[in-house]
Amino acid sequence: MTTPSYLIEELSLPASLDAADTDAADTADFLEFMELCDELIRQTWGNLDRASSAAARLQYWRDTAYTRLRLFFVRVDGGMVANSWVRCELQENLGSALLHVGVLDAFAGRGIGRALLVHAEALAAADGRTILQTFTEHPADFDVDGTNLIKPATGTGALPAGAPGVRFAGKAGYRLEQVERFSSLDVPPAADLDALERDALARAGDYELLHWTDSCPEEHAAQLAVLMSRMSTDAPSGALSYEPEIWDVARVRHVEDTWRRAGQSSLVVAARHRASGELAAYTVLQTTADKPWLANQDDTLVAVGHRGHRLGMLIKIRNLRLLQESYPAVRRVLTYNAAENDHMLGINIALGFQPAGYDGEWQRTAAAAGAATGNEIRN
């Protein structure tokens, strides 16, 4: 089959969103690209809960010492109708790249997604990235115990086999390696937090809780770096290829500064082992001024040597209480968990989180490339 030819243009990020500081054309393209991203999210989820503000996108899309991101778009009749991006890590995972393609429903089936994917894969290959990863998104409007499902390599979780993104990824040679559950919690929670907290405290007598907003106190920063590095080794990743990340205080401060510049406020609760003084667990909730009704659950980790003391439950409850005290307008918390992460899912279910959708995590190596045909991957 002959693939239609489309002009794939690269997005140039403006220096800022202040018209006096940047090129007008770059700003116009960025704002149109952002509107396209919002529409792609809306057509999948029906709302913009999973969308980021212009300030956050401008911040997270910039290259850093840790990641490099390139963004592209296709126009039809003068308007942006599809996009793609390629993200490469620069400290670890030097043989991998994360790719994504999105096409508006009205322009699906024209080969635009295929053209963007082939282009993204070629860029990754030129950078020596032979392990290619992508993801698909699926609202919780299918029976996870029904028929016509595809299971990941982990054997846990499922996606609808007939979904356009699933068909596209499979035909392009990608293998479903993991399913993540996307969940939502109404605030205030209906669960009896007092009872859950009493039960957790009865098991956590050897630990004390610490909390801070936005910036970790200097005396704990090195230990927080250790915990953040363990997110790359201790959290379930299915059969996805991830190398251990090496974190130090500078990397912690870089992430905190990025959150701040993106307009995010971060509430952090950590558990410290009383006898050793070692940080054993931490959890992060984030809010933004542009979505006062919403909070996002970022990392939660209990170090392997400190599990079995209900620390995950304890730190999550404490952070939910801080959230309600500091941001009383929040009405919903969003989170993501690997489908096979029974322990953390159990905590979230007990707190009242309900499934809102599922993300499929896909991977292939360049040597296993297939012909990219079929429908477009949906954002």
Distance CA 112, CA 192 (A): 50
Question: What's the predicted TM-score (pTM) here?
Answer: 0.92
Distance CA 181, CA 134 (A): 16
Measured in residues, the chain has a length of 379
Domain 188-330 homologous superfamily, CATH: Gcn5-related N-acetyltransferase (GNAT) (3.40.630.30)
CATH assignment of 8-180+359-368? 3.40.630.30
Where in the chain are the domains?
8-180+359-368, 188-330
CATH topology match: 8-180+359-368 vs 188-330: yes
CA distances from 202 to 237, 280, 282, 305, 310 (A): 31, 17, 19, 19, 9
Neighbours of 83 (CB within 10 A): 24
Phi and psi torsions of 355, nearest 5°: -65, 130
Phi and psi torsions of 200, nearest 5°: -70, -40
Per-residue pLDDT of the chain (379 residues; tens, 9 = 90+): 455 689 999 999 998 887 666 678 899 999 999 999 999 999 999 999 999 999 999 999 999 999 999 999 999 999 999 999 999 999 999 999 999 999 999 999 999 999 999 999 999 999 999 999 999 999 999 999 999 999 999 999 999 999 999 999 999 999 999 999 999 999 999 999 999 999 999 999 999 999 999 999 999 999 999 999 999 888 888 889 999 999 999 999 999 999 999 999 999 999 999 999 999 999 999 999 999 999 999 999 999 999 999 999 999 999 999 999 999 999 999 999 999 999 999 999 999 999 999 999 999 998 544 433 332 222 2
